[in-house]
Amino acid sequence: MMVSVYIRLLMVVCLPPKVSEVATLLRLKLDTDKHPHPRILLKLAGTCTVLPTLMADSASEVDLESDTSSVDGLSARDQLQAKCDQMQRRMDLLQQENRVLKTEVETLKLKVRSLMEVNQQLRRNSVSIQAKAEQEEEYISNMLQRRISELKKEKEALALNYEQEEECLTNELNKKLVQLQREKELLERTLAQEQEAQVTSLALALCRVNKLKHRIEKLENEKNAKQQSLDKLRHEKIELENALEQEQEALVNRLWKKMDKLEAEKRRLQDSRADLEVDFHRSGTTRLCSGVVRESKYVFSPDRRSMPSHSLLPSEKPLDRGIR
């Protein structure tokens, strides 16, 4: 049927005035097809739109050729031959396009079949999945039912065990309560005895504390008295030290004064001795010299009590004064 349709299409193409028949034949082709596809519709619609332009071009070319042939003076046979050649080329082109369209139609049919197979496979898969889901749902419901029954049995067993354990615990707690009451009474008696003992011990400790307090007060009084006497002794000691220091200073001053006098007397005697020696050498008398020697020995004798040690040199005197 498709071949007849395409033959009619070629015949219509060869006859340019009958362009409207092309659209009718294409519509018949689309109506007779069992499984139309959108791509096929687009192809056929494009063919319907292109054919009129092609036929118009061919008509214009034929007119142009007829004009040129009439102008050039060609024979009618040559015009017919040229027209046949042109139609032959046109038919070859249309046959080639027909073959291309057939191949596209075949590929589209194959795609449609594959899509239909995929659709059927998906339907079968959906049916199998639905059946499997129903089976799994039934299995889960059965399993949950069994689990619920097991949990009910466990609940009953736990309730029974709970009642038994509660009864045992109440008995044990009653026994422990009685024992604790006895221990409480015993502890109260022992606590009363310990409190009495602690009261007596506290009374004794209070007496001892009072005694210790009196003793501490007595010791503090003694400490204060001794502290006062110690302060008085310290004050007296300071006064004695000051008096002793003043006496020592006065004694040192007196000694320095005596030493100054003795030094002056020593220098005077040395001067007089030098004068006497000079006179002795001059006069040759020894009597006067011996008298002066005896006098000097008497003056510088260590047996004199009021005189300090005369071994000090004149150069040591400023040093001793600086120490004082």
CA distances, 285 to each of 269, 271, 276, 278, 296 (Å):
19, 19, 10, 11, 18
Contacts of residue 111, defined as CB under 8 A and 6 or more positions apart, other chains included, come to 37
In this prediction, residue 34 carries a pLDDT of 43
- Report whether pLDDT(293) > 90: no
Nearest CA-CA partner of 61 in 38, 40, 79, 49: 79
Residues 95-120 pLDDT 10s: 898 999 999 999 999 999 999 999 99
Task: Tell me what the mean pLDDT of segment 229-249 comes to.
Answer: 90
Residue 278: predicted pLDDT = 79
- What pLDDT score was predicted for residue 40? 45
Confidence of residue 273 (pLDDT cuts 50, 70, 90): confident
Mean pLDDT for 259-276 is 88
Query: Coil, strand or helix: which one is 1?
Result: coil
Tokens 């092609």, residue?
54
Average pLDDT over all residues of the chain: 74
Question: Can you give the pLDDT at residue 17?
Answer: 40
Question: For the residues 232-236, what does the mean pLDDT come to?
Answer: 90
On the question of pLDDT at 47 being above 50, the answer is no
Q: Which of 91, 90, 51, 82 is nearest to 64 (CA)?
A: 82
Mean pLDDT throughout 167-180? Answer: 91
Give Cα 52 to chain centroid, integer Å.
82
Average pLDDT over residues 43-67: 49
Q: Are 30 and 36 in contact (CB under 8 A)?
A: yes
Q: 274: pLDDT confidence band, cut at 50, 70 and 90?
A: confident
Does the pLDDT of residue 310 top 70, yes or no? no
pLDDT for the residue 284: 61
* Greater model confidence, 94 or 60: 94
- Quick one: pLDDT at residue 84? 86
Q: Return the number of other C-beta atoms located less than 10 Å from residue 105's C-beta.
A: 17
Average pLDDT over residues 278-307: 56
What pLDDT is stored for residue 296 in this prediction? Answer: 53
Q: What is the structure's pLDDT at 81?
A: 86
- Which residue did the predictor score with more confidence, 34 or 108? 108
